[in-house]
Chain A
Amino acid sequence: MTSYERVLNTIEGKGIDRVSAAPEIFGLSARINGYTIKQYVTDAQTLALCQIKSQQVFGCDIVFAFADTALEAEAVGCRLYYPDNAYPYIVDHIIKTSKDIDKLKIPDPFRDGRMPLVVEACRSMHNELKDDCVVTACVPGPISLAAQLSGLETFMFLIADDLDSVEKILNFSEDVIMRYAEALLKSGAHSIMLFDPVASPAVVPPSVFKDLEAPRLKRMTDALRAMGSKFLWLSIAGATQKILPLFSGIGIDLATVDYVVPISDAIRLTEGVIINGNIKPLSFVTAQPDEIKQIAINCLNEAKGRFILGSGCEMPLESKPENIGALIDAAVSSPL
């Protein structure tokens, strides 16, 4: 059974040979293969190569077309700073006052900023891995992009002071994301992950998720499925218990939960959604492989099926590579 078949069968509730394993390995793949993060996020071929090589070495079932969380905001016009060996970050947010919102232009994914780079990486990964391994492209959720465009603190205060502007920024963000996601799907991505860390109750109140984000996510997942995304994946870190019951209504197939959410709770709260998770990020750095394997086996036992083993959060850049192996090993060696 190929990785692709294993993941798709899991999603569709069909038979599988073993549980799929899909830890969120992004920049870590650069570190493992001897590239800097700057090279990884600025060169399509490096990104594709590092993902493919890590997949071949460790046998993960999904590779990721994703550079960093500032990429879309940069394409809209935010200025970034690029450290040599860490992710770039925004130094100048494009929305300073509500007047700036109407001036924003939706970027062209084939031309603006580094969007074309990820589009190209998608194409390379698909060409190389064919339909043997899933290529998932990651895009932000509207709240996460909106917070990047205005700056997080400004965005939070806008929620309290000026909901009209918040709605406008979210609508714009949704348009940016959809256009970008469409380009990624056209270029070989099998599926889209909505990476939405700011939508977490750790940051915005659950009522904001319910009223402002959930309806948008539903609209987006419907459209993305129509565009050919084989499945839809939502990743939100932190204690998400309060918003998990909404997940079954927003059209997602797979949801990542962080280590602070017990897998049994996640399964109970999200009917019909497959759960992916959930190991403490720090343990990939500090724990020994046999400990990681045991923690992963515990996850598998707690999940009892309808589950994809993963990291629950981005795997830290300084994770021990052996610990990726240990995670995959748990999936390979555990009986169904």
Chain B
Amino acid sequence: MIITTVFSIIITMNGYSLEHLITAVVAGQNDRAVSIAEVLLKNGTSPESLIQDGLTVALRSLDAKCTAEEFNLLEIMLAGRAMMTVMDNVIATHLLSSSTIEPVPEKTIIIGTIKGDIHELGKNVVKMMLKAQGLRVIDIGKDASPESFVKAAMLESARFIGVSSLITLTMPFIREIRPLLNDTGLDNVKILAGGAAIQQASPSDLNVDFVAQDVFDAVHYLNGLTS
């Protein structure tokens, strides 16, 4: 009790709260977000709380702001960059080996752009957003073969695979992932797909569990499964 009181006094003295961190991240203010996060940590906010009550809340708030008509990619990228900078420069140095993101299958997703396609921006936005949701995201890059998705899922004990593609030509490769998973005994791995061209297709066209219209659509789907 006494400790918490002292704590809030310090926070007020420094003038920073988690609210300030959230505002800075949403506004994409990189340097400001980093200095606020440093002060908060120094004053006793736990790294977990910084992620959960600060960074995650910030990126989630973009969800409400971004409708189909009002989708500002740059805004999302800037907020994502601010979040990642705080993660890499502040939180990582405090956590050292003790990762807050447990390497459990339910929280692990393999993400990549499928063979034949090199569009990466959408995949990177999704990666960032899922990290903000507390998921462990393993990025296997672009032009990635169906086998490499399955291999990574096996090695990393992932429960999810996220496939990105913006050109229709890649659809046959996406369809190969499910049978490869089944052959490997990974029947319970769920496949999500997204990206400008394949979002025109249905889950059955692609032999996947879910086709996301945008990144928030995927977040809702995953939250529905993991909660």
Contacts and interface: CB of A to CB of B under 8 A. Distances in A.
Given A89-B118, A281-B200, A282-B201, A202 B73 contact: yes
Interface stretch (B15-23, B74-82, B95-103, B184-192): B74-82
Contact of A316 (B72, B77, B120, B168): B168
B74 A156 contact: yes
A153 B169 contact: no
A157 interface: yes
A264 to B, nearest CB: 17
A152 interface: yes
A286 B175 CA distance: 15
Interface in B180-227: 196-197, 200-201, 205
A156 B200 CA distance: 26
Contacts of B71: 201-202
B83 to A, nearest CB: 14
A317 B172 CA distance: 13
Given A153-B121, A316-B169, A280 B200 contact: yes
Interface residues of B, number: 25
A157 B81 contact: yes
B168 A205 contact: no
A16 interface: no
Contacts of B124: 153
Nearest to B72: A205
Contacts of B116: 86
Interface string A147-191: 000001100110110000000000000000000000000000000
Interface of A: 86, 89, 152-153, 156-157, 159-160, 201-205, 208, 238-239, 241, 280-282, 285-286, 316-318
Shortest beta-carbon contacts, A-B, top 7? A282-B200, A316-B168, A89-B118, A282-B168, A317-B169, A318-B169, A285-B168
Given A160-B28, A202-B73, A318-B169, 9 more contacts: A153-B120, A153-B124, A156-B73, A160-B74, A204-B73, A205-B74, A280-B200, A281-B197, A318-B168
19 contacts: A86-B116, A152-B120, A153-B77, A156-B73, A156-B121, A157-B78, A159-B74, A160-B28, A201-B71, A202-B196, A203-B73, A204-B74, A205-B73, A205-B75, A238-B196, A241-B69, A282-B168, A282-B201, A285-B171
